[in-house]
Structure 1
């Protein structure tokens, strides 16, 4: 996994000459070229030469005086390398680095920049308009395969080429390859799906001429869709009719077909290429790569295996898009990491061959760790490595706890995995993460690696190397590997269930900014506490809830059921202003996210007696218990004191008790996680919200001392049960507890829910403690009538210096409580809908 977020720098014209600071821009085009789609036009027009220009920022876009320029050739590149993303990484970035160095040198030496002059015959570039999808639309009847590949490649990566004719809906196309090895009958009409291979589909074009192209990835135009292998996007019924057009691992695909895993044998050396789109490796791709390794292992007459990866990326580890699209993301995550581990174990088990990792392109996380499985790691000087996992909320696997420490030592391994910073090839060589930089660019690397490999095949050298490898072989070696894998996977299994990973993955896949910087990253080097952003986390959960509702409704339609929305019913008794406002807020939020809501308001003075009022309440609850359209029932608290609160709450059937306040729900807190352990149990919303925040910020619970101030049956008591079951030592206090300060001072985690403003003083907090303030008190200034909301913990500068993590009031626990009501209702809806679907399928 490698995780990058685009940074967009907008330069306001009024700031260009602020304090005489010289502002330079890097433009991916030749001198004179201007516009935001420079590369798109260059590739679509089949330019033979392109370049990078460094110019001074100007009020007129890309029109400033020129400090440096560097051109590069596109003439001899194979068509498969002429995509926007590949040219940007492999040609533009190296040229840009050289140009930046030259521009800075010219500035220091006071060499005047050259004004842009279109009258100069050497200026070949022009101002290009923003490219519209209509300007590169595919004409499937007339365009030949090469033209289609060129059009898709010019829009590759982002935004993709929009096609509205293939599937009856808007579809972005990516990853196009010409097919020349399969004979397409001359009478084949255009736009026919001819077959599938390794996630790609083959489509006929230029009807009657036997032309066809592979499309590897697609994305539907509709919102909340992501780029996926093409076979995961098209209709399953349509896919089932397509033949599998397999190809051998020794078929070199360059401009004749699509084959992402292939090997070439050159004398005693085998070069294994695995050129996966953007370097991501799904479960099935890892399994096919393992098959290729098994096949290679059966070849007798070779000595060295070179792992080449792809030209742009060696590998970036597990496939986050495929995981995000999976029905069960935990299962797919776990399967993916195990499949990648199997590949690495196979490489490390090849004791009778020398293995080399050749890093032609960048690598991230699991891809870096995969390269370390080889005996030697070589790279070119332009490679950038990201040997860490923490930005995705993961501990990591791929045997990194064995290979990384073995290569660079434990201290260095801990430092680079925790720092989460990219490493240049030069730095990686300096700390011995890689063995050697062999050349300047990826163009030369495999040639240089072949030369090094030939030296290693000299009998004396080769025999000594193999002898040394075999001395390491044996039960102890494999026991070490098994122990490392077991430890890593145990931590990864925990991570895969954690909201930090799930939210970070979602943000990465949907190209949205992270909800917040994960605590385990943000806390490094900090001297003040981190402010919990409950509002942003809740918003993200709400978005996931909306998407899940749509997914479940689709499943209902597929099962022949009439789709419906989740139903939430709320009962409020009495006329407390705060309760009425809170119910209104919950109702409005639920409705906005597609819930069917019902609110019943019963005045506590409308009945002649308490018994009669209670009977009316119970009758309403029983009516909702029997309503198939209602999934969750909430009774707003507090109830009038005369009513039997316990009897009323226990009347709600367990399957619909989404507030989690039924007497029988408390027992389940001892065994459940932050989600129901069964379809009939729910964690109280505030408790679930707090547990979710602790999980999100990677607060490790086992062994922690927790002090809960506030012993209510809705928060304090159930939270104590939940935390005790997670290995915490819990002390429950109230406002009457003797020596309250002493109890708080001992706590690693303080949770305040007493509802008494500023009850807990800042200097009571243990340094480094986590402070969860779930209390709320509304106060009105008698003179100004201004309303102030306070928590139970005194918020002073001293508190922010002492604690490590603090929930604000408001904006901390409150938003999480509301969204967890929606999550519980969604869980109830899912459980009931699943039962309905099962009944339908069993008929």
Structure 2
């Protein structure tokens, strides 16, 4: 079928649908919903059998939905209506929720239902639920709806409509620090994380709260800042405290940053353990290194600390190191937010890419351990190539990879990709991957050799299987022989062309990206970080426009 994805942006759900529908052989193209005229033109050019709207911020033009089947993905159960379904579900403490594929009509979310799915609610942020449970359910429901369309079955019916719920106002989820317990505070912050964040006041500054976690064992006067841990701060609730990892000032062009980067040094607060963005545990001959960085972004400081943690892990009496990333993201490479916030974004870009390279090199050259990259969540840009530095790359079935840099202002990229990618995919496929600018599912990634295996639908299932795999590797009598062969292979590769040469060649290109006359990278980074809407759809997505 010819499928037109009509979306506000190429967000995580839109990418999932692009990948899964393409893998099934559908002819997929996409258009950003810029205005009515552009949408009408796209429909005329694409001549779709069906229009799927996974993520919109305004209504589909009447002339489109009246003349074409338009299926809208709504992140709520059948009958639910309104633009903030998931926000309300978290705020109201629902135990179960759903996602519905319905036909666009005049009334918002009032059309006939074509398919739906339900899921249990985790104690998680809105963005995490959207990226996982909602996305999984949406893909299943969309495929169900397309199957009904192909079989000419039509929609399943019209459920009773619940009262329409508008967008959540900040006052409706404001924290009352003198009355709210930890569970209530976390529920309110999670309902707004990551967009728009929960508006609050800290030290007489209006800020949006993000990245909140229960602070076990801490307490104090409700509302007071009582501790710090790394760049996070702890704030007391009525029955304990919460760690707040990131803040965004309520100011024009302000960025989401580590809390103390926004508040400034709070040296009077005691430094206590509790907030961790990197941790290590060890079982049955396997070291597990976790790094669930917010949005998968890795700042210079985080790269340095992760490298130090990896080196320490190699000094343990284990045989296997499993690099676990985080449940939502594996890694998306350098931290564009801290770069944008720096006094010199070019200098910080250079520092960040070199710190990322130092980490990647440690993984490549590790001869003492078998390394396993366990991609629980999505990965992009340099984060994907960092994974390729491991001896074995495993990915969860639903993970989406973006193994390219060029969408960020024609960035060349580093992380030794010119060594790692051809070695896995071959020179021709490596060039195709890096030029494509398109998301890739695990099925295609496995075919290309980008990953070695894929399994597990949910994060817990994937982690359990990774642990079984890692422990089996650690117990394998042949592992010492594999490690010896690995060291010999690395020595041969180094003799043929040193890693330093790959790095130097890549960084020559990056130096031009960061310091050269072409500002494309800096413009693209600014637009990405500040969520500047696209004025047009890139041709690699708008395939219907390439035909024209």
Q: TM-score range by the shorter chain?
A: 0.7 to 0.9
Aligned to 1:364: 380
Measure the CA separation in 1 of the matches of 2:375 and 2:449. Answer: 15
Residues 174, 427 of structure 1: alpha-carbon distance in 2 compared, 3 angstrom cutoff = same
Aligned to 1:68: 115
Measure the CA separation in 1 of the matches of 2:522 and 2:428. Answer: 29
Larger-Rg structure: 1
Matched, 1:196 2:216: no
Contact 2:230–2:275, Cα closer than 8 Å, also in 1: no
Deviation, 1:520, is: 12
Measure the CA separation in 2 of the matches of 1:442 and 1:90. Answer: 9
Aligned to 1:241: 268
Measure the CA separation in 1 of the matches of 2:435 and 2:175. Answer: 47
Measure the CA separation in 2 of the matches of 1:239 and 1:204. Answer: 16
Residues 459, 311 of structure 1: alpha-carbon distance in 2 compared, 3 angstrom cutoff = closer
Matched, 1:480 2:498: yes
Deviates more, 1:28-37 or 1:273-282: 28-37
Aligned to 1:261: 278
Aligned to 1:137: 174
Contact 1:508–1:514, Cα closer than 8 Å, also in 2: no
Aligned to 2:43: none
Deviation, 1:11, is: 4.0
Aligned to 1:154: 191
Measure the CA separation in 1 of the matches of 2:315 and 2:371. Answer: 15
Aligned to 1:273: 290
Aligned to 2:432: 415
Aligned to 1:489: 507
Residues 273, 126 of structure 1: alpha-carbon distance in 2 compared, 3 angstrom cutoff = farther
User: Which whole-Å deviations, capped at 9, do the CAs of 1:193-252 have from their partners, x for residues lacking one?
Assistant: 22322321111222xx4x111111111112121111111111x3x53433432x4xxxxx
Measure the CA separation in 1 of the matches of 2:230 and 2:205. Answer: 24
Which secondary structure does the structure 2 equivalent of 1:55 belong to? strand
Contact 1:355–1:374, Cα closer than 8 Å, also in 2: yes
Matched, 1:34 2:77: no
Matched, 1:92 2:134: yes
Measure the CA separation in 1 of the matches of 2:512 and 2:547. Answer: 29
Aligned to 1:462: 479
Deviation, 1:71, is: 0.4
Aligned to 1:299: 316
Measure the CA separation in 2 of the matches of 1:285 and 1:504. Answer: 23
Matched, 1:24 2:103: no
With CA pairs under 8 Å and 6+ residues apart, which has the higher RCO, 1 or 2?
2
Aligned to 1:167: 203
Measure the CA separation in 1 of the matches of 2:547 and 2:378. Answer: 34
Measure the CA separation in 2 of the matches of 1:465 and 1:178. Answer: 43
Matched, 1:351 2:378: no
Deviation, 1:472, is: 2.5
Measure the CA separation in 2 of the matches of 1:55 and 1:520. Answer: 28
Contact 2:114–2:157, Cα closer than 8 Å, also in 1: no
Structure 1 spans left out of the alignment, 5+ residues:
248-256, 529-843
Matched, 1:508 2:531: no
Aligned to 1:108: 150
Which secondary structure does the structure 1 equivalent of 2:177 belong to? coil
Which secondary structure does the structure 2 equivalent of 1:392 belong to? coil
Aligned to 2:164: 127
Structure 2 spans left out of the alignment, 5+ residues:
1-8, 12-31, 34-55
User: Which whole-Å deviations, capped at 9, do the CAs of 1:518-544 have from their partners, x for residues lacking one?
Assistant: 99999xx9899xxxxxxxxxxxxxxxx
Residues 311, 520 of structure 1: alpha-carbon distance in 2 compared, 3 angstrom cutoff = closer
Matches within 5 A, 1:200-349: 200-206=232-238, 209=239, 211-234=240-263, 236=264, 238-245=265-272, 247=273, 257-300=274-317, 302-349=318-365
User: Which whole-Å deviations, capped at 9, do the CAs of 1:143-190 have from their partners, x for residues lacking one?
Assistant: 112211110000001111011x32323211111111014x43xxx322
TM-score by length of 1: 0.56
Measure the CA separation in 1 of the matches of 2:393 and 2:10. Answer: 27
Which secondary structure does the structure 2 equivalent of 1:95 belong to? helix
Deviation, 1:372, is: 0.2
Measure the CA separation in 2 of the matches of 1:455 and 1:461. Answer: 11
Measure the CA separation in 2 of the matches of 1:243 and 1:516. Answer: 50
Measure the CA separation in 1 of the matches of 2:65 and 2:84. Answer: 27
Which secondary structure does the structure 1 equivalent of 2:205 belong to? coil
Contact 2:247–2:257, Cα closer than 8 Å, also in 1: yes
Matches within 5 A, 1:339-738: 339-393=355-409, 394-474=411-491, 477=494, 480-498=498-516, 499-513=519-533
Measure the CA separation in 1 of the matches of 2:419 and 2:61. Answer: 52
Residues 387, 117 of structure 1: alpha-carbon distance in 2 compared, 3 angstrom cutoff = closer
User: Which whole-Å deviations, capped at 9, do the CAs of 1:742-791 have from their partners, x for residues lacking one?
Assistant: xxxxxxxxxxxxxxxxxxxxxxxxxxxxxxxxxxxxxxxxxxxxxxxxxx
Measure the CA separation in 2 of the matches of 1:113 and 1:520. Answer: 32
Measure the CA separation in 2 of the matches of 1:306 and 1:126. Answer: 48
Measure the CA separation in 1 of the matches of 2:381 and 2:450. Answer: 13
Measure the CA separation in 1 of the matches of 2:418 and 2:539. Answer: 23
User: Which whole-Å deviations, capped at 9, do the CAs of 1:708-761 have from their partners, x for residues lacking one?
Assistant: xxxxxxxxxxxxxxxxxxxxxxxxxxxxxxxxxxxxxxxxxxxxxxxxxxxxxx
Which secondary structure does the structure 1 equivalent of 2:276 belong to? coil
Deviation, 1:460, is: 3.3
Measure the CA separation in 2 of the matches of 1:33 and 1:384. Answer: 28
Contact 1:196–1:242, Cα closer than 8 Å, also in 2: yes
Matched, 1:176 2:212: yes
Measure the CA separation in 1 of the matches of 2:378 and 2:259. Answer: 25
Residues 459, 222 of structure 1: alpha-carbon distance in 2 compared, 3 angstrom cutoff = closer
Contact 2:78–2:159, Cα closer than 8 Å, also in 1: no
Aligned to 1:620: none
Measure the CA separation in 2 of the matches of 1:330 and 1:243. Answer: 34
TM-score by length of 2: 0.85
RMSD of equivalent CA atoms: 2.5
Which secondary structure does the structure 1 equivalent of 2:203 belong to? coil
Deviation, 1:420, is: 1.1
- Report how many aligned residue pairs link the two structures: 491
Residues 260, 454 of structure 1: alpha-carbon distance in 2 compared, 3 angstrom cutoff = same
Give 1:14's match in structure 2, choosing from 62, 73, 76. Answer: 62
Contact 2:65–2:104, Cα closer than 8 Å, also in 1: no
